[in-house]
Structure 1
Amino acid sequence: MPLRGTSRDGAPLSVLIVEDNPGDAELLRVLLDEAEEPTATGDDDEEDGDAPPPLQIAVRWVERLRDARAALADAPADVVLLDLSLPDARGLSTVAQMRAAAPTLPIVVLTGLDDEALAVRAMRAGAQDYLVKGTVTAPGLRRAVRHAVERQRLVDAAQRATAARDVVLGVVAHDLRNPLSTIKMCAAALGAAPEPAQAAELSGVVRNAADWMERIIRDLLDVTAIEAGRLTIDRAPLDPAAVIARAREQFAPLAAERGLTLVADAAPDLPSLNADGERLLQALGNLLGNALKFTPRGGTVWLTATEAPRGVRFAVRDSGPGIAPEHLPHLFDRFWQARETRRAGAGLGLAIAQGIVQAHGGRISVQSSVGEGAEFDFTI
Structure 2
Amino acid sequence: MMPEPVLPGEFSSVGASSRGDRVTGGGGPVPAPRGGAVEHATSDDLAPGRTEPRVLLIEDDAADALLVEELVADVTPGMGMRLTWVRSVAQARAELARTVPDCVLLDLHLPDASGLEALAAVQECAEGVAVVVLTGLAEERTGLAAVAAGAQDYLVKGRVEPELFGRAVRYAIQRKQTEKAAAELQAGKLRAQENARLERGLLPTPLLNGDDSVEVVARYRPGRSQALLGGDFHDVVQQPDGTVHALVGDVSGHGPDEAALGVALRIAWRTLVLSGAPTQRQLRLLEEILVAERAGAEIFATLTSAVLPPDRRRVRLVRAGHHGVLWREADGVRWVEVPGGPALGIVPGRAHWPVQELELPHGAGLVVFTDGLFEGRSGPDGQRLGEEGLLRLAGTLTGLPAEPFVDRLIARAEELAEEYGGLADDVAVLHLRWSDRRKEETGA
TM-score (norm 1): 0.49
Per residue, is there more helix in 1 or in 2? 1
Per residue, is there more strand in 1 or in 2? 2
Q: Which has the larger radius of gyration?
A: 2
